[in-house]
Structure 1
Amino acid sequence: MQTSGLESPEQKNAGVALYRHCALQIASAIRTGALEPGLILLEGPISSVFQTSRATVRKAMGTLADEGLIERFDGRGFAVAGRPDGSPLTKRRLSGQDFMLDEAVRPDGKPAADQMIASVEAALMVAIAFGHYRVDEQRLGDSFGVSRPVAREVLWRLRESGLVEKNLHSSWLVGPVTAQAIAQDREVRMLLEPHVLKQSAPHLRHEELAAMRKAVSGAMAMEGKIPRDVIEGIERDLHVSCLRHFDNKRMSQILHGCRLPMIVDALFAQFIGIYRDESTFAEHLEIIDRLLAGAFEDAAASHAAHLHNEGRRTLDRLKVLSVLPEPEVAPYLQRIV
């Protein structure tokens, strides 16, 4: 049966999604080391592994070449970039395991890395306030029943958020949180966040801001310790939701990687508890009220003042956390003495 040369919108969208899926999966395998530098990648074998057409793989490879993850050799194919000068190319049989296809998706259809990341992030957040740790990739994988490449993919994603560190030859390192690191993160946020808020503010809906105001007012009326989820929700409203309409992705990534002050505040709420703080909540209300009034310049100025005050409060909380006994940490974390 012949088909016309024109694809339906559904077919076009499916093709775009498929080549992007292939590109993302191959890129992930390269970044985690499952595909080593100098390894030859040919369209035919890869299309067999992914059970898709050579044209789809060709488009995916073109994307990866543009990103510098692979490089063409002798006009015959591609190889994973990054091999030392003079070292030979390598060729071996590729399987779904090389691309983490065998386990990257769980039976419920959700990627294994996506299911792990929140739990791993929470464990690392607890650890960083109490010391310096090395993350063992193999133990991390064993803890979640996945391979080392999948565990490595989770750590690479958390590295982008600034929670874990690694360079080419080092182990994965976490913590410790220092006063200097918090001050540096706060300085970045003070320089960027007011500007980002001013640009994002016109796109915030009145109903959304009213709900944020109601959450702060509700916390002000509470007696005793305020639940951690309430504190985190209020902070997320101001420092994430109110900024989300800013379209400079690079600046947004920088801010996302400067989260130490928010992490320390969340840990303080978990281990010590935060009680009603009239001055902090009053600062939140002032910013929200100015946003509701459309006074975006004033809101940005109030936000800058709030960040300055929060810096002092966060450092005080870090001092308290530093004298607490070290909690039990995840089995894949090894303390560095």
Structure 2
Amino acid sequence: MSEPRLGQNTQRRYEIAEDVLRSNIADGILPAGLVLLEGPIAEILQISRAPVQRALLQLESDGLVHRFKGRGYLVGPPGRAIEPNRTDIKSLGLTIPQHADEALQSRSSWERIYTEIENDVAGCVIFGQYRIIENELANHFSVSRTVVRDVLTRLRERGLVRKNQSSHWIAGPLTAQTVKDHFMLRRLLEPQALALGASHIDRDRLAVLFSRLSELDSAQSADAWQSLEDIRAQFTECCVLAMPNERLRELIRNNLLPVTATERLLRQLGLPGDPAVIAEIRLIVELMTRGATAAAAAMLENHIDASMNRTIAQMKIVAIIPGPSVTAAYLTRVVE
């Protein structure tokens, strides 16, 4: 088994997840060809998908896993024509060292419920305005109101909820204008960040991303659309967030949250993906691989503009839908 890194108690969750997966691959517990999906791994480690996603990206860069035409990653290096093995990872008995388990479970209470609440909120705001009642939220998750306020404060920092004049917590509505506002910020920030971080981009990771985009652009299949959110996240991490300015990175991440949530909800409602999205991102990455940073930044501006128009057009379709059939118990629709 591989040795844990130094400074274990200061490791971030994605680093711990990466070490756990790496050691289980090395020990043969995760065999070659096994399909790795973020959701089941996140459930086993009791963390959100984001650190698992980042861990898998690093393992992919190191050649321990690779993407294929289906969803997820295959254990093993690329180019070996490994047959996908879809055994449920939960049945394999992953080895999780005690220090890793303790480090993952020592995170504060608000982190354990944050992702679920964020998803609940993001899944309804496109349909209107909702009030979040602190007591009901606390009872729903069996936590204190202090923990609830921690979650809601962070959701407010990310622009997903706000307090009205009566000091009630309000989510939504997500309107065409608010979407335009978020995309305007994207247009101002992301091309500049791409240009600023060009010299910091991991070239090997960029090559892997370009190869994956080229495969998807050629495939034009249902699997391609299922992989779209993952591809966008990889592009953002690899290219847009490569610059060393942490405050700018955080601003970009927070602004993307409602945008990503909206696009995810539109997919869940069955609205089709546009083949142009993958082609646009592939072109940006190709320009970056060639060192054409200014052209890539200009193409990113065009991509953001096109994405805004696509999103607003689909929101008009959703406007005729009465609303979600089920919302979390702590969310109450505000009728204006």
Query: What letter matches 2:196 in structure 1?
Result: Q
SS at match of 2:180: helix
- Measure how far apart 1:238 and its partner are: 2.7
Report the equivalent of 1:254: 251
Report the equivalent of 1:61: none
- Measure how far apart 1:143 and its partner are: 1.2
SS at match of 2:318: helix
Change (3 A) 1:146 1:228: farther
The answer to whether residue 228 in structure 2 is matched with residue 237 in structure 1 is no
Task: Supply the distance in 1 between the matched residues of 2:322 and 2:114 (Cα, whole angstroms).
Answer: 26
Among 263, 266, 286, the residue aligned to 1:289: 286
With normalisation by structure 1, the TM-score equals 0.64
The answer to whether residue 112 in structure 2 is matched with residue 115 in structure 1 is yes
Change (3 A) 1:205 1:106: closer
Aligned residues of 2:193 and 2:243 also touching (Cα < 8 A) = yes
Among 124, 128, 133, the residue aligned to 1:127: 124
Give the 5 Å matches for 1:148-297.
Answer: 148-166=145-163, 169-222=166-219, 225-226=222-223, 230-259=227-256, 260-275=258-273, 277-297=274-294
- Measure how far apart 1:251 and its partner are: 3.1
The answer to whether residue 321 in structure 2 is matched with residue 324 in structure 1 is yes
Aligned-residue sequence identity (percent) comes to 29
- Measure how far apart 1:228 and its partner are: 6.4
- Measure how far apart 1:248 and its partner are: 3.2
Task: Supply the distance in 2 between the matched residues of 1:287 and 1:237 (Cα, whole angstroms).
Answer: 13
Query: What letter matches 1:323 in structure 2?
Result: I
- Measure how far apart 1:129 and its partner are: 1.0
- What does the per-residue CA deviation read over 1:263-297, in whole Å, with 9 as the maximum and x for residues that have no partner? 2211111111434x332222111100011112111
- What does the per-residue CA deviation read over 1:17-71, in whole Å, with 9 as the maximum and x for residues that have no partner? 9xxxxxxxxxxxxxxxxxxxxxxxxxxxxxxxxxxxxxxxxxxxxxxxxxxxxxx
- Listed as ranges, the gaps of 5+ residues in structure 2 are 1-5, 11-101
Change (3 A) 1:334 1:292: same
Between Structure 1 and Structure 2, how many residues are aligned? 237
Deviates more, 1:140-149 or 1:266-275: 266-275
Task: Supply the distance in 2 between the matched residues of 1:149 and 1:189 (Cα, whole angstroms).
Answer: 33
Task: Supply the distance in 2 between the matched residues of 1:322 and 1:285 (Cα, whole angstroms).
Answer: 31
Report the equivalent of 2:64: none
SS at match of 1:122: helix
Give the 5 Å matches for 1:78-97.
Answer: none
Higher radius of gyration, 1 or 2? 1
Aligned residues of 1:185 and 1:261 also touching (Cα < 8 A) = yes
- Measure how far apart 1:174 and its partner are: 0.5
- What does the per-residue CA deviation read over 1:231-267, in whole Å, with 9 as the maximum and x for residues that have no partner? 2112212334422232334433432332333322111
- Listed as ranges, the gaps of 5+ residues in structure 1 are 1-9, 18-104
- Measure how far apart 1:222 and its partner are: 4.3
